[in-house]
Amino acid sequence: MKLNSIIIISIVVLSVTFLRILYSYVTGFIFPDEALYYVSTFYFFKTGHFVYYYGDRQLFQLFVLAFSIPLRIDTIQKFLIVGPILATLFSISGLIVFDRILKRFHLERRYTVLMFGLSPVFVILSVFVLTESIALFFVMLGIYFALSRNSLSKVILSSVAFTIASFMREPYVIFLLGNFIYMLFKTENRRALVASFFGLAGAIVPVLSILSSIPLATAYYYYRQIIRISGIPISEVVQYPLFHVVGFWTQIWNFIIDAPLGLLLGFGISTILVAYSFVKYRVDGFLRIQVVCSVLSYIAIVVGQARFAYYGSLAALSGIVRYSHIALPMLLTLGVFYSYYKGSKQKIVGIMCLFLVVTSVSGLFISAGISLNNASLGYRAPWLKADQYMQNIHSHSLIMGEPTIRLSLFVTQSDVDIAIPPATYNRFVNITKSYDHIFLYDEKHINHIPAIENNFPWYLQLEQNQTQYKVHTIWNDSESDFYEVIL
């Protein structure tokens, strides 16, 4: 008896999710964006007030809050257990909708679903609490309902789904526009289509915009840090030097060379098969529209990131592959390929499985900016190590450094304050009078030293024992450092 392809993929994805949960729970590993999406919910439980500490993806932050309240996910440890499970369920749900669309077109489903679900980018991003999984689910839902273009209720549901997906991942608005244009030429009642599709989307946008205008405590990820004084979270700015932005084509090249080879090849094979099917076989116009929308969405996100992202920031690592997640709907066309293909379908899927096995671990860590040397349960993330050390400090203390978001989620003792360094050394001298212990904490991302030099040059002198204070090294490795100032 052949196992259903969805069951096979569910087993694979849930297995990877279990490993991710185990690894994160033991080591403290958390993707930077996950911390950004959860930090507002974390402090909601602490203060009773919801404030955005991250200026983008507000709707997704509300989604995190919505599932956190009934499940009482009020600590980062709970989030690292429950969050990946929920993200995985959305990924599998999107896969099920993908299968239903193939069924509507009477296309080959078993191997097409396997190719979709075993794509390394699909599996790897399924275990992160990021916008990709939920946005993919809603865009697939929008495509499914768009098939019933002569049903007013289905058109409305399609519009809702595409609009929500667009608020999660902005380039998905291309699917909203592309499917509307296609339905406009194919439907029997164009007036009703225009009124319901764009009318409803137009009505939803203000509502979502109002939800997104809850008090905002941030301007842009790269500039913002979270500090906590006497238990009160405060948003502060750290200016990252602009000279670390590279040229457009240099950034595109960096996207490519940063990508793990197996992930890049897996994405490349799928793209080649879609392009071949698009040219060689008779593909339904509706599926062609999804391919066009996928390609345009992918181009939009890559170009957008290449123009505005900081190279060396975590947003850029493996960009050419990570952003390919937004183009996954084009794999519907693989159903056409497998319906015509007479060769060994198992070999193609087997190659994809090989890429998945080879690159799952490397892709997981490289995408998060963590060395493969730390791919073991013996690893401890800097923010977790700081928390474990502070458990033995039972007096009024200050941890000062950059960045602070993940640190503030793990170090939660009421007598420990967290802050970025003050602008001047004299201000620091005055601060020392208020604490029994002062610690210095640094995560060594590529912009860290330039940011410190640009904002608090005296801080480096303090760490190097070039002031009136001496510092004791608690640890100093390639990823982070932690010092105590001898008061």
Residue type, 378: G
Q: Are 382 and 480 in contact (CB under 8 A)?
A: yes
The reported pLDDT for the residue numbered 216 is 43
Give the span between the Cα atoms of 94 and 90, in whole angstroms. 6
Task: Look up residue 222 and give its two tokens.
Answer: 């790269």
Pairing mode, if any, of strands 480-486 and 437-443?
Answer: antiparallel
State yes or no: pLDDT of 50 exceeds 80: yes
Helix H or strand E encompassing 86: helix 76-104
pLDDT for the residue numbered 356: 63
Q: In what order do the strands lie in the sheet with 470-476?
A: 232-237, 224-229, 416-419, 397-402, 437-443, 480-486, 470-476
**Bridge partners, residue 236, by sequence:** 225
403 upstream amide cis, omega within 30 of 0: yes
Residue whose pair of structure tokens reads 């671990």 in the numeric block: 361
The answer, yes or no, to whether residue 302 has pLDDT greater than 90, is: no
Long-range contacts of range 201-210, CB-CB < 8 Å, 24 or more positions apart?
201/159, 201/160, 201/162, 201/163, 201/176, 204/159, 204/160, 204/163, 204/164, 205/163, 208/59, 208/163, 208/164, 208/167
> What pTM was computed for the model?
0.85
pLDDT category, 221, cuts 50, 70, 90?
very low
**Stretch (H or E) spanning 416:** strand 416-419
pLDDT of residue 76 exceeding 70: yes
Residues 418, 407 contacting (CB under 8 angstroms): yes
pLDDT(1) > 90: no
Helices and strands: H and E segment counts in the chain: 21, 7
Q: What is residue 53's three-state secondary structure?
A: coil
The fraction of the chain above a pLDDT of 90, given in percent, is 37
Which two three-digit tokens encode residue 368?
A: 């998060």
Phi-psi region of 187 (alpha: psi -120 to 50; beta: other; left: phi over 0): beta
240 within 8 A of 447, measured Cβ to Cβ: yes
Phi and psi angles of residue 302, each rounded to the nearest 5 degrees, phi first? -65, -45
* CA distances for 38 relative to 54, 125, 255, angstroms: 10, 17, 27
What integer best gives the mean pLDDT of the chain?
80
pLDDT digits (tens, 9 = 90+) for 441-470: 999 876 777 778 888 889 999 999 999 999
Least reliable range by pLDDT among 35-44, 210-219, 378-387:
210-219
Taking residues 58-79, report their average pLDDT. Answer: 93
pLDDT at 351: 72
Task: Read off the tokens for 311.
Answer: 């190279």
- The arithmetic mean of pLDDT across residues 231-240, rounded, is 62
Q: Which pLDDT value is given to residue 215? A: 46
DSSP string, 89-158: HHHHHHHHHHHHHHHHTT---HHHHHHHHT-HHHHHHHTS-SHHHHHHHHHHHHHHHHT-TT-HHHHHHH
